[in-house]
């Protein structure tokens, strides 16, 4: 596929728009002065990510991401943050070290992901029956562990939050 064909490909244009949204919201999550807005932009990032999952062909995972991750987790963070007073942000004196680490990580990932240069990406059709079969037959133990983890976490979170402070 030529560069011109790629430029007028609707899914490629959608990818570019969503990618810009994802990068901008990631930056705002990290750098926005208000924690409430940071949590809000984490929700926007989650939506952008879900759209990217759908572009890759994983529509069920995209819906699950919106329902569980944004609907429960991000909303939980957002409402919890309203319980805290807005404190002035404290920064470590590590900005240069952080920038250098990020550069090294990016180079490392570029080397690893470099093998995918020019490799075609076919949006895959995931059969839900196959997904359910894998989950209940091949990965049943992981499913039980995940369910137990969620229950334990729920109890632990309530216990920690209701603990009497002396």
Partner 1 sequence: MELALLFLSLSAAMFGIGLYGLISKRNMLRMLLSAEVNFNAAMLALLTLASSSSSPATGGVIALLAIGIAAADIGIMVSIAILMFQLKRRLDVYELRKFRG
| Contacts of partner 1 in 32-71 (CB under 8 A) | 35, 38-39, 42, 45-46, 49, 52-53, 55-58, 60-61, 64-65, 68-69
Tokens of 66: 């919106």
Contact between 17 and partner 1 per CB under 8 A? no
Asked if residue 48 lies in contact with residue 25, where contact means CB atoms within 8 angstroms, the answer is yes
- Minimum CB–partner distance for residue 91 and partner 1 (Å): 6
Contact between 92 and partner 1 per CB under 8 A? yes
Nearest Cα neighbor of 9 from 121, 114, 119 is 121
Q: Within positions 103 to 142, which residues make up the interface with partner 1, using CB under 8 A?
A: 103, 105-106, 109-110, 113-114, 116-124, 126-127, 130-131, 134-135, 138-139, 142
Environment class of 69 (CB within 10 Å of its CB; exposed 0-12, middle 13-18, buried 19+) = middle
Asked if residue 35 lies in contact with residue 79, where contact means CB atoms within 8 angstroms, the answer is no
- Minimum CB–partner distance for residue 84 and partner 1 (Å): 6
- Minimum CB–partner distance for residue 63 and partner 1 (Å): 11
Binding footprint of partner 1, residue count (CB under 8 A): 91
Contact between 29 and partner 1 per CB under 8 A? yes
SS3 109: helix
Q: How many angstroms separate the Cα of 48 from the Cα of each of 9, 15, 44, 79, 122?
A: 19, 10, 6, 21, 20
Q: Within positions 68 to 87, which residues make up the interface with partner 1, using CB under 8 A?
A: 68-69, 72-74, 76-77, 80-81, 83-84, 87
Contact between 4 and partner 1 per CB under 8 A? no
């Amino acid at each position: 596929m030529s560069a011109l064909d790629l430029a007028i490909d609707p899914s490629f244009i959608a990818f570019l728009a969503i990618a810009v949204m994802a990068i901008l919201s990631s930056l705002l999550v990290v750098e926005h002065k208000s924690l409430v807005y940071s949590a809000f932009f984490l929700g926007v990032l989650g939506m952008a990510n879900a759209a990217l999952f759908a572009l890759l062909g994983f529509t069920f995972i995209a819906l699950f991401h919106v329902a569980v991750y944004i609907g429960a987790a991000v909303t939980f963070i957002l409402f919890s943050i309203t319980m805290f007073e807005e404190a002035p942000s404290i920064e470590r004196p590590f900005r240069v070290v952080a920038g250098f680490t990020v550069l090294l990580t990016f180079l490392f990932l570029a080397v690893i992901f470099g093998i995918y240069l020019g490799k075609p990406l076919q949006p895959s059709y995931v059969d839900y029956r196959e997904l359910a079969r894998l989950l209940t037959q091949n990965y049943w133990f992981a499913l039980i562990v995940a369910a137990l983890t969620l229950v334990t976490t729920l109890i632990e979170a309530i216990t920690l939050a209701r603990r009497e402070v002396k």
